[in-house]
Amino acid sequence: MAGLNLIYKGAEAELYRGKWLGFDVVFKRRVAKAYRNPDLDRYIRVTRTSLEAKLLSDARRLGVPTPIVYMVDSVRTEIAMSYIDGQPLKKLVPAMDHDAVIQAFIAVGEAVGMLHAGGMVHGDLTTSNIIVKDGAIFLIDMGLGEYTPSVEARGVDLHLMRRALESSHFDSSVSAYAGFTKGYSDVMGAEARLVLNRVGDIRRRGRYVDGGRCMLE
Amino acid sequence: MGSVRYVLGIESTAHTFGCGVVSSEGEVLSNVKSEYVPKAGGIHPREASQFIAANAPDTVKSSLANANITIKELDAVAFSMGPGLGPCLRTGATVARMLSLLAGRPLVPVNHCIAHIEIGRLVCREQDPLVVYVSGGNTIVSAFSMGRYRIFGETLDLALGNCLDTFARCLGLSHPGVPKLELLAEGGRSFIPLPYVVKGQDVSYSGLLTMATRQVGTSDKGDLSLSLLEVAYGMLAEVTERAIAHTEKPSLLLTGGVARSRRLQHMLESVAAEHSARLHVVPPELAGDNGAMIAWAGYLGLINGQEIPVERSYVKPRWRLDEVEVPWRG
């Protein structure tokens, strides 16, 4: 396609920047994976594309900051969405001081809380999937998300966030997660306690975690 | 003295009792193992540990004989302190403590997962790979960052090898089940949808195993094997691809017992090529559980002061990879 610039090649999709009816957009195209069984590959790309488009726009309606979805093409497994001229949170965290980390993650926790309260989960919360523009955060990459009010799915969201913090931002992971849970609890109210308790359960279910059970023993 | 040093390693986390000797030059002088194969069903920890106790003396003797070395010439004795099955770990640790006291040399505790990674780095000559470690007990995607091997993805429940072995037994296939499943899958014609569960960077195999075993008897064995393998490996390839895109490591190292899978090797080769990375597959004798890898990781531990007194050498059945400091990497 002419006039499109490849701006990012991720694990699952390629991002092109271009114009769509005059809007400055990103085309997110889920590309076929040669290593996958073709039936499985098609199924994964089609379902994730339509699910992501629905989740992004439903989340936005609830006030969760996400890109605006303009167009979905389930044959080409492509979404056109508004371009957010910001930086991934992953790149900004290392330069932040303690207070800045807390403030940023309070905002992330609030956004995730709004999403959960609206009956959705993100499914892949990492600092690469949060864009910061002029101090405001946006959630992107919702293809692994789900429509569910279940405590388990919400707990998995928080567990993934915590794991991502521990593997990519070990030095600030404790304050980041503390800020996150504060923002999350402010929005979720009494329900937050249930989810936070479940995060502990999910962690202990993992392999070789103290206080958990070992699958082979 | 600056001369060559020798370390003996004892591996006994599950069904393999291994004893290997390596030199400080990174040369594997011997690598002997005896493997407990259950008559039926999966590994019974007590029976596995009894097998280890019965086979340890001969395995250690042949390892020393193959290396052409005596106990007195060793500089240290390393052992897998965890993670693994408690009874097996304790039996192996007992052997290692005795050898350490006999030799009058330090005892060095080794994390089993670290040993898999370090022997892979040694033989594949890769400084800083993204590691995919898949076996009957572990499914981990890991890379070095800030002093430790961080976990970028892992299973939330069953290990990949555990899932495939259990399914193979349901089909009546004997151990080792994975090569037989792959052979059956070659005869598969149609793909049966099964739960494909990727949660963030992690995978979950328990639902997949349940759904696949439920269809044994009603669906074609070839189709079912094909679908199970495609979904199970596909999930792992996806999280591996996510991790390599995220970490931007220059190479991919496949290790563990399931590293032998041809289909998985092909998938990861494609993932690596897509991200301009090299794929290395650790050779089978060093990819599966073995004593030489414990000896090599033990040597690295030894020169970094990680020895432990016998009276404090309790095994750690739940010793996570990311809890261990790795001082030999900058």
Residues B14-27: pLDDT tens digits?
999 999 999 999 99
Q: How far is A190 from chain B (nearest CA, A)?
A: 26
Question: Could you tell me where in chain A the CATH 1.10.510.10 domains are found?
Answer: 87-205
Q: Contact B268/B91 with Cβ under 8 angstroms?
A: no
For residue B41, the model assigns a pLDDT of: 85
Question: Could you tell me where in chain A the CATH 3.30.200.20 domains are found?
Answer: 5-82
Residue B314 structure tokens: 């309790």
Q: What's the rounded mean pLDDT across residues B190-198?
A: 95
> Considering chain B, what percentage of its residues have pLDDT values greater than 90?
91
Q: C-alpha angle with apex A162: A203 to B163, nearest 5 degrees?
A: 40
For residue A212, the model assigns a pLDDT of: 43
Q: What's the rounded mean pLDDT across residues A33-59?
A: 95
Across chain A, mean pLDDT equals 91
Residues A63-104: pLDDT tens digits?
999 999 999 999 999 999 999 999 999 999 999 999 999 999
Q: How far is A90 from chain B (nearest CA, A)?
A: 10
Residue B59 structure tokens: 């395995």
Q: Is the pLDDT of residue A217 over 50?
A: no
What is the dotted CATH code of the domain comprising A87-205? 1.10.510.10
Question: What is the phi-psi region of residue B143: left when phi exceeds 0, alpha when psi lies from -120 to 50, beta otherwise?
Answer: beta
Confidence tier at B148 by pLDDT (50, 70, 90): very high
Q: Is the pLDDT of residue A147 over 50?
A: yes
Radius of gyration of chain A (CA): 18
Q: How far is A169 from chain B (nearest CA, A)?
A: 10
Residue A160: closest C-alpha in chain B = B200
Q: How far is A11 from chain B (nearest CA, A)?
A: 5
Q: What's the rounded mean pLDDT across residues A34-54?
A: 95
Residue pairs between chains A and B whose CB atoms are closer than 8 Å: 116
Question: Could you tell me where in chain B the CATH 3.30.420.40 domains are found?
Answer: 6-117+287-323, 128-284
For residue A216, the model assigns a pLDDT of: 33
Asked if the C-beta of B133 comes within 8 angstroms of chain A's C-beta atoms, the answer is no
Q: Do B234 and A160 touch (CB under 8 A)?
A: no
Residues A96-141: pLDDT tens digits?
999 999 999 999 999 999 999 999 999 999 998 999 999 999 999 9
Residues of B in contact with A51 (CB under 8 A): none
Active site residue A41: no
Q: Which among A124, A141, A171, A201 is annotated as catalytic?
A: A124
Residue A144 structure tokens: 């692994």
Comparing C-alpha atoms, which of A87, A18, A79 is closest to residue A48? A79
Find where tokens 């989740």 sit: A55
**Which residues have C-beta within 8 Å of that of residue B140, sequence separation ≥ 6?**
B113, B131, B132, B133, B134, B151, B153, B154, B321
pTM: 0.90
What is the dotted CATH code of the domain comprising A5-82? 3.30.200.20
For residue A208, the model assigns a pLDDT of: 64
DSSP B109-130: EEEHHHHHHHHHHHHHT-SSPE
Give the helix/strand (H/E) hosting B271.
helix B262-274
What 3-state class would DSSP assign to B65? Answer: helix
Measured distance CA(A4)–CA(A19) in Å, rounded: 8
Measured distance CA(B81)–CA(B60) in Å, rounded: 18
Which residue did the predictor score with more confidence, A214 or B139?
B139
Taking each helix axis from N to C end, the angle separating A191-205 and A151-168, rounded to the nearest 10 degrees, works out to: 60
- Domain over B128-284 is classified CATH 3.30.420.40: yes
Q: Is the pLDDT of residue A11 over 90?
A: no
Q: What's the rounded mean pLDDT across residues A148-172?
A: 91
Asked if the C-beta of A152 comes within 8 angstroms of chain B's C-beta atoms, the answer is no
Across chain B, mean pLDDT equals 95
Residues B49-59: pLDDT tens digits?
999 999 999 99
Q: Do B234 and A156 touch (CB under 8 A)?
A: no
Residues of A in contact with B244 (CB under 8 A): 11
Q: C-alpha angle with apex B276: B267 to B113, nearest 5 degrees?
A: 60
Confidence tier at B108 by pLDDT (50, 70, 90): very high
Query: Of B83, B137, B270, which is closest to A34 when you measure between CB atoms?
Result: B270
Confidence tier at A169 by pLDDT (50, 70, 90): confident
Beta bridge partners of B158: none
Q: Do A35 and B318 touch (CB under 8 A)?
A: no
Measured distance CA(B245)–CA(A10) in Å, rounded: 6
Confidence tier at A167 by pLDDT (50, 70, 90): confident
Residue B147: closest C-alpha in chain A = A170
What is the dotted CATH code of the domain comprising B6-117+287-323? 3.30.420.40
Q: Is the pLDDT of residue A31 over 80?
A: yes
